[in-house]
Structure 1
Amino acid sequence: MDWFTDPGAWLGRWLFTRGIALVYLIAFVAALRQGRALIGTTGLTPVPRFLERVPWRRAPSLFHLHWSDRFFAGCCWVGIALSAAALAGLADRLPVAGWMVLWLVLWALYLSIVNVGQIWYGFGWETLLLEAGFLTVFLGPAHVAPPTLGMWALRWLLFRLEFGAGLIKMRGDRCWRDLTCLAYHHETQPMPNPLSWWFHRLSPRLHKVETLANHLTQLVVVFGLLLPQPVAGVAAAVMVVTQGYLLVSGNFAWLNALTLVLGLSALDGRWLAAVLPLQPPDALSSPDWFLAVSVVLAVAVAGLSVGPVRNLLSPDQRMNTSFDPLRLVNSYGAFGSVTRVRRELVVEATDDPQPGPGTVWREYEFRGKPGDVRRRPPQWAPYHLRLDWLMWFVALSPAYGRAWLTTFLDRLLDADPATLRLLRSAPFGSDRPAAVRVLLYRYRFTTRAERRATGAWWHRTYERQLVGPRTAAGRGSLSGDG
């Protein structure tokens, strides 16, 4: 049975399980803080309305059995408690069966949230967390020898994640092939961070180096993951470095953090032992039944990988696609196309009951997305600001907001406390405005000279009114002035 265990992967497993516990913790905290306003009973896209039209077989979730805002919050609190316990190392003290139950509950709770989360949970890092979280069930606590097949399943996930991202770029926007995409990406990405301005201002030659390094990592180096150590460790180390680079240049929720953690799991254990003051137990157990379960897992993953592999090989490759309602084995990818021009929605309110040409409008400030041109882009990742991300998509196409944008504006007219908590500030605090509207602006990063002269990070130009003015008395459908 020695072939089925890999004691040398003990530290890699330790790093991975601590890392994914932290990601789970962040994900459940985000769900607790934002869930009521986004998908609660009176949220922007209410779960009860979703459950009426979507059956269990299409979206398995505990909330098909019972829904209330209080029950949803309770599930989030259970997830927070269990992930915090795992992060603190308490899960490693459990017997194997207890370990499996703890991680299975975490996975089931988060699957339940994602499957009713609708557009707010339609991001690739949600399915990535679910797939990685399910594999964690079968890795075992610290006193058990890491199962070889379980650790290889993590490598297979990392391979598909990176290779899929590389292929979608080469099959997508031409700028990836001529190495110019990163001349735009740092400025137009959904939510820039404090260093994005500096990355955008790198020379065109360095942008091409960035792009080429990305291609080499995702299309060439990635195959090293499928080889024995130390080659797999070298490939994983390259991915850890590249994901760290992405972490400091943008805000992509926990996508880069979780990918980095997957990379740590594939590092050579001898390298980790040289830098981490941790020692495995003198005797690592290997229950036969647990190893048998790992074999069943490997067979299941192989079978469920058929759809994702076909998708990888297809010229019509789809990004971030699930092939089963449990989201066990998925396809990934990001930025098959890159936006050249950044547009932002600016939401404003007034206390004037009859808005006209002389009306004074004041802005709502969002937590993460650009608004005030003098405000430096903040750091939020690995936390996920779902409303801010969707506002970026609506700026690309108003169709992304068809199901919820007017409801959001109505909540602002009502000064709904849950909705206002999603924002950084409201122009009238907890008081109701008389009218709201949405304007569309073109944003770009300032030049170095503009930055020195004005202190502004952004320059913006008004384009048009997208919605409104919308008043409490005249609530209607999405409209604009064209």
Structure 2
Amino acid sequence: MEWLSWFDARDYEFARQVLQRGIAALYLVAFLSTMNQFPALLGERGLLPVPAFLDVARRLARPTLFRWRYSDALLGAVCWAGIGIAATIVAGLPQLGPPWLPMLAFLALWLLYMSIVNVGQTFYGFGWEILLLEAGFTVAFLGSNQAPPPTTILLLIAWLVFRLEFGAGMIKIRGGREWRDLTAMFYHHETQPMPGPLSRQAHLLPRPLHRVEVVGNHFAQLVVPFFLFAPQPLASIAAGIIIVTQLWLVGTGNFAWLNWVAIILSFAAVSDPVAHAVFPFIPLEWHAGAETPLWWLAVVVLITVLLLMLSYRPLLNLFSSQQLMNASFNRWRLVNAYGAFGTVTKQRIEIVVEGTLEEEADAPDDRWLEYGFKGKPGDVRRLPRQWAPYHLRLDWLMWFLPLRTVHEDWFYTFLNRLLEADQPTLRLLRQDPFDGERPRWVRARSYLYRFASRAEFRETGERWVRVLLYDAIPPVSLSPRRRRLP
């Protein structure tokens, strides 16, 4: 029908394929991360047990399948269901059916993962959690291979990328002076939550290049997002710039799936002709003769109106002097506010956890052994690994400790679990220096870390230089005759 031509984005099938399969792949990673870590962090015997939190969740009226009951077995069922559904979308199976089939698959992922996020407390308090939820809900209405992609949904996804990028840019401009005087990247690669294998090399780049990084960031976040709504090929070029800048962040750090969501969503602005020009194997004609069913048009228009209505407060937030960062304005986690790194920490403080088998707490330092974490810095010789898009939640929370306080309830429980040699907790770590044996004492020490210079690395083989500051938590033990954990 001719009058429906405005609704059909016939030149954006490649974008739809990337969006659906890419977001589904990230949901698969998110459920896998949850299945591996949630029981030890938040399970029945976790550091912040969900059963103890459910009364609060009920009062907050947060939508969750665990609203009335939580068990580790139920959590496992939710994760396996999410992994299975996500895998079918990555394989393209629901997309072969009618438009409602991938819609239901994505809405199932959204509801299942929202059930987890809404009881995840501080371990799920990151901006990329609500970003994945909003992305999954919006992508749900891209339809299937039986009809062209809907233009309004692609525009809503571009609007999501705009809020993500422009919101982060405004947070920085309004935040620390280092973003305005172009010195932020003097520190960022060294002090970011979880460095990657190339972070040290990025940190050691000449300072003029770090200033170029900041200028490029401001351009990519404050100027480029407006061109996502421009005619082609400007929109595709804008998307390409965002994708390249996000890939730089992927290569120089570990930010879970934050950067990958931004990369995937940016393809909403990439048209098939542009994609074909860059990659000739991408077809130009996908939907010859295909028509959009009227009932599907009605569903998409309804969802479009809903998301536009929910955009009012996030739009005001972008231009507010009291701009909120990573905030939801409704309990369904739709059309959120985003932003990150409004300020950059200038020094890296690490909390190092040690234990000893000695009878007395005043044992010499060489009798204390350090627990190794998978992602966060510890061993000064170890090359940081690339973990993203997989999310190491314990390691991220360890980065926040010196910025807030080490006296967090979950951290004391963590130390308690180490004293018990609790196996689920130890599996969250890279190395247990006691091979499953219970230490008699544990302590937490505060260190100042910095990247070694090239000359220092050649001399010592150490990638980090660290200096002991103080005992953040003095030696504690489970024994009633010794100092006990609070």
- Deviation, 1:229, is 2.0
Instruction: Report what 2:427 is aligned to.
Output: 421
- Deviation, 1:357, is 4.1
| Partner Cα separation in structure 2 for residue 413 and residue 42 of structure 1 | 15
Amino acid across the alignment from 1:382? P
Q: 292, 297, 301: which is aligned to 1:291?
A: 297
Amino acid across the alignment from 1:310? L
Structure 2 counterparts to residues 359-398 of structure 1, below 5 A = 360-398=367-405
| Partner Cα separation in structure 1 for residue 437 and residue 94 of structure 2 | 46
Q: 457, 463, 478: which is aligned to 1:472?
A: 478
Instruction: Report what 1:407 is aligned to.
Output: 413
| Partner Cα separation in structure 2 for residue 296 and residue 228 of structure 1 | 25
- Deviation, 1:58, is 3.2
| Partner Cα separation in structure 1 for residue 35 and residue 291 of structure 2 | 38
1:26 aligned onto 2:32 = no
| Partner Cα separation in structure 1 for residue 46 and residue 247 of structure 2 | 35
Structure 1 segments of 4 or more deviating over 6 A? none
Instruction: Report what 1:235 is aligned to.
Output: 238
- Deviation, 1:110, is 0.4
Q: 5, 26, 45: which is aligned to 1:42?
A: 45
| Partner Cα separation in structure 1 for residue 161 and residue 337 of structure 2 | 11
Name the SS for the 1:3 alignment partner.
coil
Structure 2 counterparts to residues 52-451 of structure 1, below 5 A = 52-55=55-58, 57-274=60-277, 275=279, 277-279=281-283, 280-358=286-364, 360-398=367-405, 402-451=408-457
Name the SS for the 2:114 alignment partner.
helix
**Which 10-residue stretch deviates more, 205-214 or 256-265?**
256-265
Query: How many aligned residue pairs are there?
Result: 477
**Which 10-residue stretch deviates more, 52-61 or 178-187?**
52-61
Name the SS for the 2:141 alignment partner.
coil
| Partner Cα separation in structure 1 for residue 272 and residue 144 of structure 2 | 17
- Deviation, 1:477, is 4.9
Contact 1:410 1:475 in 2 (8 A): no
Amino acid across the alignment from 1:435? W
Name the SS for the 2:299 alignment partner.
helix
Unaligned runs of 5+ in 1: none
Name the SS for the 1:103 alignment partner.
helix
Deviations 1:9-57 (A, max 9, x none): 1111111111111101110000000010011011000111110222165
| Partner Cα separation in structure 2 for residue 182 and residue 142 of structure 1 | 44
| Partner Cα separation in structure 1 for residue 20 and residue 103 of structure 2 | 12
Q: CA RMSD in A?
A: 1.4
Unaligned runs of 5+ in 2: none
Name the SS for the 1:427 alignment partner.
coil
Contact 1:56 1:64 in 2 (8 A): no
- Deviation, 1:5, is 1.2
- Deviation, 1:228, is 2.5
**TM-score (structure 1 length as normaliser):** 0.97
